[in-house]
Structure 1
Amino acid sequence: MEITLDKHAANEALIKITLNEADYQPKVDAKIKDYVKKANIKGFRPGKAPFGMVKNLYGTSVLVEEINQILSSTLGDFIKKQEFKVLGDPLPVLEDGKEIDWKKQKDFDFSYKIGFVETVTVDLDVAKEVKDYKVEVSEKELSDAITNIKRQYGKMTNPEVSAENDFLYGDLKSADGSFEKTLSLPLSKIDSEAVPKFIGVEKGAVIELDPANVLKEEAADLLNISEEEAKNLSGDFTFTVQNINRTEEAELNQELFDKLFGVDQVKSEEEFLEKVKEILAENYNREMQVYAEEEIKKLLIEHANIDLPESFLKEWLLKANGEKLTESDIEKEYPAYARQLVWSLVSNKIAEENGIKAEHEDVIEKTKAMIRQQLASSGLGAQMESNMDLFVNNYLQGNEGQNYMQMITSVQNDKVVAFIKEKAQLEEEIITVEKFNELLEN
C-alpha cells in the first residue's frame, strides 16, 4: 500500500491511495471461507460448497466491501496523523471514462480531495474592545410592563358605550359595495385624529370614514389584505358596530401574583414591582449578553485570518446535502456557513488549549433553563416545574440524539465565551433601554 499527499494549494490537497493484491486478498479469502461455512447452495449440503464456486458467486461483492473498509480506515488514520485540520469530508475523485474492472484488476488507485487549514491562531486581547453592557430599567419601562400585565390578565367585558382603547367588532363596507369586511377594530391602532369618532358610540352605530385616513399603515394587517390592496383602499366607507369589547385591567392582588410566579412566591405589591423589574432587567441583559457574544465572535473571527478552502467547501456542501440545496442556495448561504465554521475552529482551539469541556450536568442545566424560559413566556412556568425532568429527557432524546449534541456544542460555546470575557476583563457600562434599542438596531 502506498499513500501520498499532494498539497496543490494553500488549503486544498489530494490524497492518493494505491492498493495491491497483498493489501486486500488475505481479507477477501478469509471472508469467502466464512461464506463457505454458511453458504446454502442448491446441490450441496450446507457448508460443503466448493471454495471456487462461492468465490465466483460472492467474490466481487466481498472484494468491493473489503476494499471500501480498507480505504475508510486507512484514510481516517492518515488524516488523524496530520498536523493540519481537515474540513468537511474527503471527496472521492472520479476520473471521467475510467471504470474499475473488479474481476481483472489486481492493483487499484483511489484519490480524494480534501480541504484544510494549517494553523488556527487566537488573540484574546482583541475582545477587550467589547463593552459589557448592563441595562437599567426606568420607571417608565416598569410602568408600561405593569400596564401590559394588567391588560393581559384582565377580564373581557362588553360595555354599552365605547371608550378609548376598546375593540369595536363590526362591518366595514364601501359605499359602492365593492368592499366588505367583518373585523375587530382596536381603537389603539387607528389614527389618533380619528379616534374621537369611535368613542362614545353604541352597538348599531354607523360611522362614516375613509380607511386611508383612519387605518393608514395598519390597514393591511387589520383587514388581512395585501399592502397593494391596502394602498388602493380609500373613499367613502361605513363601519357598523356590532359589539364593543373591553378588557378590564386585572387588580394587583395575591391571585394575580400567584398566577404569575407560583403560590406565595410574591406576597405584596412592593415585591411584585421588584420582581417584574428584576425580570425586565434579566430579559434586557440576556439580549445584551448575546450582543456582546456576537461582538466577541466577530472580532476573533476577523483577527483569526483563516483562509478557508472555499471551492472545496462549496463542492462538499453541495454533495453532502444531496437534493436539499442547489448551487444557487450554496452561494447564498456560504458566507454565513463560513463565518460559523471559522468561529467553530477558533472556539475549539480555545477549548483545547485551556481544557474547556461541556459536562453532562452542564447540558442538563442549560436545557432546564431553556425550557423554563419557554414555559414562562406562555405563563406556565411555575405550574410545570414538577415535570421539568420529563421535559428535559424528552428534549435531549429527540431528533435522534441531535438535540443532545447541539446542546453540548452550545454549552461549550458558553464556556468558551465566558472564558474570553474573564480573560479580557470587559469594561462594564450601564445603559438605558433607548441605548439598548439603538445597539440592537445597528
Structure 2
Amino acid sequence: MQVTTEAVSGVARRLNVSVPTTRINEQFEARLKRTAKTAKINGFRPGKVPMNVVRREYGASVYQEVVNDVIRDTVFEAIQQEKINAVGMPNIEKVENKEDALVYEATVEVYPEVEVKAFDGLEVERKTSEINDKDVDQMIENLRKQRQTWANTKGMAKKDMQVTFDFEGSIDGEKFEGGAAQDYTLVLGSGQMIPGFEDGIIGMKNGEEKVIDVTFPEDYQAENLAGKQAQFKINVKKVEKPKLPEIDAEFLETFGLTEEDGVEKLKADVRKNMEREVKNGLRNQIKAATFDALVAANEVELPSAMVAQEIDRQRQQMIQQFTQQFGAEGAKAFDSSMLPDDLFKEQAERSVKLGVLVSTVLADAKLEVDPARVDAYIADMASSYEDPTEVIEYFKNDKQQRSQIEAVILEDQVVDHILATAKVTETSVSYEELLKEQQARQQQG
C-alpha cells in the first residue's frame, strides 16, 4: 500500500492511498467462495451452485462489499502509517479502480498544533477576599431567615411580608386563562409576578379588596397576553410578617451544636465554612481569569469534528440536567430539535480552544500531576464531612473519582505555571461580591 499526505489546512490532511489490486482480488475470491456455500439459486441445491453462476449473480455486490471493507481498513492503516493525530472520521473521496490498484483520497481532520504565546504578555486580575465579623453575622442572619416562620399582622402589607389572597384578571373586561387563583401565597418583593403586581398589593390589609392595573411584558411567554394591559381584582385574606427564630438551644441543635457550645461555636463553624467557600471561590476566579486571558491571546484553528463532539457533550449534559430537574418524563419534552447546535456552538468552540491550549502548555512545560496536591485537596474537601477518614479512603480507592480530582489539580498547576510570568494585579472584593461573581460564572456555564 502506498500513501502520500498533503496539508489541506492547519487542521486537515489529505491522504492519497493506493491499494494493490491483488489485495482486492484475494479478498474478493475468498468472499465469493463463502457466498457460494450459502447461495440459493433456482435449479441448484445449496452449496452446489457453480462458481461461474455465483460470480454472475453475486459478483458485483460482493466486489463492492470488498472494496468498501478494504477502504475502511486501509484508511486507518494509512493514518497510522503517516503518524497522523486524527480527530473524527475520515471523509473518503474519488475512489477509482485502476488496472493495478484501487486508488482513493481521504480527508481527515487532525489535532491542532499551536505555539502558545509567551505568558509575560498576559494580564490577569486576581481577586482577594477576607471574612470579617460582619460577614459572619450576616450569614447567621441568613440562616435564621431560612428557618423563619410567619405571624399574622393587622398592619399593612410591606415588602418581605407574606400575603395570602384571591385574584381574578381581565383584559378589556374579559377574563383570560390562567388569570385567576384562590388562596395564593406570595412573599412581596420576591419578583414572582409580573412587574407592578406586587407593588399593587403593598399597603393592603387583611380583608381589603382592590383592583390593580398592570401591563404584561412585551416578551411575556403567553403571546396572547404579551404587552397587554390588564386589571386584577385582589382580595387579601391574610397578611403575615416574618418571625425569625431565636438563637437558642433548639436553633443550635439544627447545626449539631449544644446549648453549652453557644453562639460563639456557631460563629466559629460558620466562619470556617465561609472561609472554605472563599478559598474555592478565589481559586475558581483566578483559574477563570487566567484561562480567559490565555484564550484571548492565542488563535487556534479548530477541527469541526472536535467542536461537533463538544456540542454533543454539552447537549447531553443539558438533557441530564433536565432529567434531574423534571424527571425522565419531563425531560422527554426537550428533544434534540429544541436544542440546536447554535445553542452550544460558541461555548463549545471556546471549550475546545481552551482544551487545546491547556494540553499544549502541559506538554511544553512537561507538567505532571502532583500527588501531594491531590492528597491535600481531598483532605481539605473531606474536612467538611463528619468522618473525614472515610471520605479520604473513598477517593483513594475509587480511581475514577480520583482521576477527576487529578484533572482539576493539573489545571491548577497550569494556572500556577502561567501566573509565574504573567502580569498579575490584585483587587480586594467583599465576600458578597465574590459570591455574586461566582454565581454569575455558574449561570454562564
| TM class, shorter-length | 0.5 to 0.7
Query: In 2, distance between residues paired with 1:180 and 1:355?
Result: 66
* 1:75 counterpart residue number: 78
Cα pair 1:19 1:107 within 8 Å, conserved: yes
Structure 1 position 121 matched with structure 2 position 115: yes
Query: In 2, distance between residues paired with 1:177 and 1:420?
Result: 65
SS at match of 1:130: strand
What amino acid maps onto 1:161 in structure 2?
K
Cα pair 1:15 1:112 within 8 Å, conserved: yes
Offset at residue 437 of structure 1 (A): 7.7
Q: What per-residue deviation string (whole Å, max 9, x for no partner) do you get for residues 285-309 of structure 1?
A: 5344333223222322233333446
* 1:206 counterpart residue number: 208
Cα pair 2:15 2:107 within 8 Å, conserved: yes
SS at match of 2:154: coil
Cα pair 1:11 1:307 within 8 Å, conserved: yes
Q: Which runs of 5+ in 1 are unaligned?
A: 397-402
* 1:197 counterpart residue number: 203
Q: Which runs of 5+ in 2 are unaligned?
A: 316-334
Offset at residue 90 of structure 1 (A): 2.6
Q: What per-residue deviation string (whole Å, max 9, x for no partner) do you get for residues 159-212 of structure 1?
A: 3635753311111246968464432232345989877723xx44xx12435354
What amino acid maps onto 1:353 in structure 2?
D
Offset at residue 138 of structure 1 (A): 5.1
Change (3 A) 1:247 1:433: same
What amino acid maps onto 2:295 in structure 1?
I
SS at match of 1:120: coil
Computed over aligned residues only, the root mean square deviation of the Cα atoms, in angstroms, reads 5.7
> Aligned match of 1:347 in 349, 353, 358?
358
SS at match of 1:197: coil
Larger fraction in helix: 1
Offset at residue 340 of structure 1 (A): 2.3
What amino acid maps onto 2:268 in structure 1?
E
Query: In 2, distance between residues paired with 1:209 and 1:138?
Result: 47
SS at match of 1:274: helix
* 2:90 counterpart residue number: 90
Query: In 2, distance between residues paired with 1:71 and 1:363?
Result: 43
Counterparts of residues 5-20 of structure 1 (less than 5 Å): 5-20=5-20
* 2:321 counterpart residue number: none
Offset at residue 350 of structure 1 (A): 1.9
Change (3 A) 1:62 1:208: closer
Structure 1 position 63 matched with structure 2 position 56: no
Offset at residue 21 of structure 1 (A): 2.3
* 2:185 counterpart residue number: 184
Query: In 2, distance between residues paired with 1:141 and 1:108?
Result: 75
Query: In 1, distance between residues paired with 2:78 and 2:425?
Result: 48
Larger fraction in strand: 2
Offset at residue 109 of structure 1 (A): 1.7
Structure 1 position 153 matched with structure 2 position 156: no
SS at match of 1:250: coil
- Between the aligned residues of both structures, percent identity stands at 13
Query: In 2, distance between residues paired with 1:50 and 1:28?
Result: 16
Deviates more, 1:351-360 or 1:382-391: 382-391
Cα pair 1:31 1:62 within 8 Å, conserved: no
> Aligned match of 2:244 in 245, 249, 259?
249
What TM-score do the two structures reach when normalised by structure 1?
0.64
Change (3 A) 1:119 1:209: same
What amino acid maps onto 1:248 in structure 2?
K
Change (3 A) 1:59 1:110: same
Offset at residue 416 of structure 1 (A): 2.7
Offset at residue 347 of structure 1 (A): 1.0
SS at match of 2:254: helix
> Aligned match of 2:162 in 163, 167, 173?
167
SS at match of 1:111: strand
SS at match of 1:113: strand
What TM-score do the two structures reach when normalised by structure 2?
0.64
Change (3 A) 1:207 1:286: farther
Cα pair 1:206 1:240 within 8 Å, conserved: yes
What amino acid maps onto 1:145 in structure 2?
M
Cα pair 1:157 1:248 within 8 Å, conserved: yes
> Aligned match of 2:430 in 419, 429, 432?
432
Aligned residues: 398
Offset at residue 73 of structure 1 (A): 3.2
Change (3 A) 1:92 1:411: farther
Cα pair 2:307 2:349 within 8 Å, conserved: no
Query: In 2, distance between residues paired with 1:144 and 1:393?
Result: 40
Change (3 A) 1:333 1:27: same
Cα pair 2:150 2:162 within 8 Å, conserved: no
> Aligned match of 1:291 in 285, 288, 292?
285
